[in-house]
Structure 1
Amino acid sequence: MSVRGFSDALDKTHFQDAYVGNLSSLSVDRHGRVSALSDRSKVFELDRRLKPSSVVSLADEAGRSLDSEGLVIDRDGTRLVSSETEPSVRRFSASGQLLGRLPVPANLAISSTGGILNRTFEGLTLDHTGRTLTASMEGWLRSDGIDTRRFQTWERRGHGEFEVGPQYAYVAEKGYGISEIAATRDGRYLVMERSFAASVGWTAKLYLADPRGASDVSGVSPLTAGQEGVRFMGRTLLADLAGCPAGDAVSKVPGQGNPLIGNIEGLAVVDQCGDRMRVLMVTDDGESSTEITRLYDMNVRLPRR
């Protein structure tokens, strides 16, 4: 991985009276336009300079705001948005009208024995065929080992609705949560793991996950790393962002190691040619005076399958 550049131009700014921050996801439509999702139920479309050109508000069935974390722009322009507090995946029109909601397996629901509030569907991605949607759990289920994460898929049949597909198992770095995933053209996933500790500040690592040959763990509970009879997704470290040159980046976080790194929550592939990819990333500032909304422009090279 190499850094093409970064920008703090969106930090602590407003657009049409909406705060441009709390950004939790990035998505690219079929025309190459980038949108950013705020976890305060706002979707900002960005222009070529990556500045807001429009904003749309989202709400649930009762008209309440969402803890919106993952964003996918489908081929027809509708928005698929995940929330980590139920968890849920809802479909919205480009203008923000609620169109429907995808089914979620009972073992992932907060009300079940396995759910953990604010640690569920943090990441969301759609493969390049438009047929497989995947949500990643930020944290673990109470019934599972603390390093295990579940990836839930949905499969689209023809041009119809998404139906629940397999769940896959993933082992995360100890102490790290998955903040975002992005599908690659060959069926693998970029996986952003990030962590915070007062002694070192934010840390972030980019991995590549391969679901080929992985078990469907929908009916497996408990789920622990190394569990007999369960094949976890393959996992390869692509980059430890602590090793990226910081350039003139600054950080307001006390004790922050590499000042380039913040609370990275958004990740989107904007271009891919063979094994070479251009990736955008964004941080969530949480409207905190010590955090920065930062956009990153990165080059990533994938290892061969």
Structure 2
Amino acid sequence: MSASLMRRACAAALLLTSALAPAVAAAAQPGDSHRPLERAAHARLLGEKIVPYKLDFQGTTVGGFSGVDRNPCTGEYVFISDDRSYLQPARFYTAELDVDAGGVRSVDFTGTHPFRRPDGSVYPSPSAADGKAVDPEEIRVDPRSCHYWWAQEGDRPKTADAPVIQPSVQFASPAGDYLGQLRLPPNYEITMQERGPRRNQAIEAITFGSGGRVVTSAIEGPLLQDGPVPDLRHGALVRVTQQNRGGRVLGQFAYPIEKIFAESDPDSPWGPDTGVPSLLAFPDDPDRYLVLERTWVAGAGYKIRLYDATTRGATDVQSMDSLAGQSVVPMRKQLVADFDTLGLSTVDNTEGMTWGPVLPSGERSLILVSDDNFDKDAVTQIVALAIR
């Protein structure tokens, strides 16, 4: 779950030296990378629709939507719920969305299926005796087969005696049957030696590019060895990895996330939460992505920002064990939309996005969804933007 930023500067100006920061967090400074991209996208609001709280559908509780994609084979949309099998087994939903230049006309759910483990069983609640925790966060439809690829964060336990659950990207049939999984980069592995993804900050974002030949994923927050999380003064770098369908790493890059936008309520027990919950490849450019950044601050609420980013010219960091103190050229990025300025009814925990239909204007629609965490004070909000 997490947050926001943007980036650009010529290679010489973007080389970050050890003197700039004891950890790579200092590499993510706005002045380093906010030079415009050559043809950055622009966004405008088409409309939104709120799904009723805890809507009952086929005996399941609708909510917790942390990812969405459009199925090119059916025209339907698929939403992944991040219910870790507490309410019902980990699952996804299909739906028909009526989206046009006038906004989101309707949302009609058409089906739901649980994800199944290799033995055919559903994921039990983490409290079950034989339960294995699963944390579904992102779903994409394979443009070649229309099977589902879904990412889950696993679990870095709070105590040494609890099991480590590794993050994964799995393949599933349209009915949720297990079909295999993608081999992930070694530095995506959770270890108990204070390396790898932080707790609840592993894989939240995957996307297909180059007609399905390239799979790109992003870690939500900085790896433990890459430096501290963002604070009020500094941003941070998170790893974005391009792989082929067999799992071979084609390149890994450092994406700069923004510093925290406001001070936390001093009476809150919760610290800020920020990172990259979703990214989306541009159909016509294998090195270009829309990147969603989400930040929550106690007392200030959510800050959701959308960026146009590119790996072109960025340092390939796959061989760097740690980014802390290293000289790297991060991905360049430029702000596309700050949700506070769109005119939405509310800005909530937006975590998923996908391309929608092309509009009569020639613009491409972008569909985004928020995760209500099954909380009555939050919303499942489906937003449509026009991107040009």
TM (normalized to structure 2)? 0.69
After TM superposition, give the deviation of residue 272 of structure 1 in Å. Answer: 4.9
After TM superposition, give the deviation of residue 20 of structure 1 in Å. Answer: 0.9
- Structure 1 position 154 matched with structure 2 position 251: no
The more displaced of 196-205 and 104-113 is 104-113
Distance 2:322 2:358 in 1: 37
Number of residue pairs the alignment of both structures matches:
283
Alignment of structure 1 residues 6-17 onto 2, 5 Å: 6-17=48-59
Which AA in structure 1 matches 2:153?
A: E
Is contact 1:78-1:92 (8 Å) kept? yes
- Structure 1 position 165 matched with structure 2 position 250: yes
Q: Which residue of 2 aligns with 1:217?
A: 317
After TM superposition, give the deviation of residue 144 of structure 1 in Å. Answer: 0.8
- Structure 1 position 50 matched with structure 2 position 107: yes
Distance 2:67 2:107 in 1: 14
Which AA in structure 1 matches 2:139?
A: L
Q: Which residue of 1 aligns with 2:137?
A: 69
What is the CA deviation profile of residues 271-294 of structure 1, one whole-angstrom value per residue up to 9, with x for unaligned ones? 358983210111101111111111
Q: Which residue of 2 aligns with 1:263?
A: 349
SS of 1:217's partner is coil
Is contact 1:12-1:293 (8 Å) kept? no
Is contact 2:197-2:219 (8 Å) kept? no
Q: Alpha carbons of 1:126 and 1:164: their partners in 2 closer, same or farther (altered >3 Å)?
A: same
Q: Which has the higher contact order (CA 8 A, sep 6+)?
A: 2
SS of 2:352's partner is strand
SS of 1:50's partner is strand
Alignment of structure 1 residues 13-24 onto 2, 5 Å: 13-24=55-66
Distance 2:252 2:358 in 1: 26
Q: Compare CA radii of gyration and give the structure with the larger one.
A: 2
Is contact 2:221-2:275 (8 Å) kept? yes
Distance 1:57 1:125 in 2: 22
Distance 2:362 2:311 in 1: 18
Alignment of structure 1 residues 39-118 onto 2, 5 Å: 39-40=82-83, 41-48=90-97, 49-61=106-118, 63=121, 64=123, 66-74=134-142, 75-85=144-154, 86-111=166-191, 113-118=195-200
- Structure 1 position 138 matched with structure 2 position 220: yes
Q: Which residue of 2 aligns with 1:253?
A: none
Which AA in structure 2 matches 1:174?
A: K
Query: Runs of 5+ in structure 2 lacking a partner?
Result: 1-42, 84-89, 98-105, 125-133, 155-165, 230-235, 261-273
The more displaced of 161-170 and 70-79 is 161-170
Distance 2:213 2:364 in 1: 21
What is the CA deviation profile of residues 214-273 of structure 1, one whole-angstrom value per residue up to 9, with x for unaligned ones? 222111132148x42x22111111111111113xx2xxxxxxxxxx21000111111358
Which AA in structure 2 matches 1:232?
A: P
SS of 2:187's partner is helix
- Identity level (%): 28
Distance 2:362 2:323 in 1: 33
Which AA in structure 2 matches 1:171?
A: P
Distance 2:52 2:183 in 1: 35
Q: Alpha carbons of 1:194 and 1:89: their partners in 2 closer, same or farther (altered >3 Å)?
A: same
TM (normalized to structure 1)? 0.87
Q: Which residue of 2 aligns with 1:257?
A: none
What is the CA deviation profile of residues 141-185 of structure 1, one whole-angstrom value per residue up to 9, with x for unaligned ones? 1111331100122213xxxx4433321111101133111111112
Alignment counterpart, residue 127 of structure 1, candidates 196, 199, 209: 209
Alignment counterpart, residue 278 of structure 1, candidates 332, 353, 365: 365
After TM superposition, give the deviation of residue 10 of structure 1 in Å. Answer: 4.1
Q: Which residue of 1 aligns with 2:281?
A: 183
Which AA in structure 1 matches 2:206?
A: L
Large movers: runs of 4+ above 4 Å: 272-275
Is contact 2:197-2:221 (8 Å) kept? no
Distance 2:290 2:117 in 1: 29
Distance 1:211 1:282 in 2: 25
What is the CA deviation profile of residues 39-82 of structure 1, one whole-angstrom value per residue up to 9, with x for unaligned ones? 12211110243221011100334643531111111121211010
Q: Alpha carbons of 1:297 and 1:11: their partners in 2 closer, same or farther (altered >3 Å)?
A: farther
- Structure 1 position 5 matched with structure 2 position 62: no
Alignment counterpart, residue 231 of structure 1, candidates 312, 316, 329: 329
Distance 2:57 2:298 in 1: 33
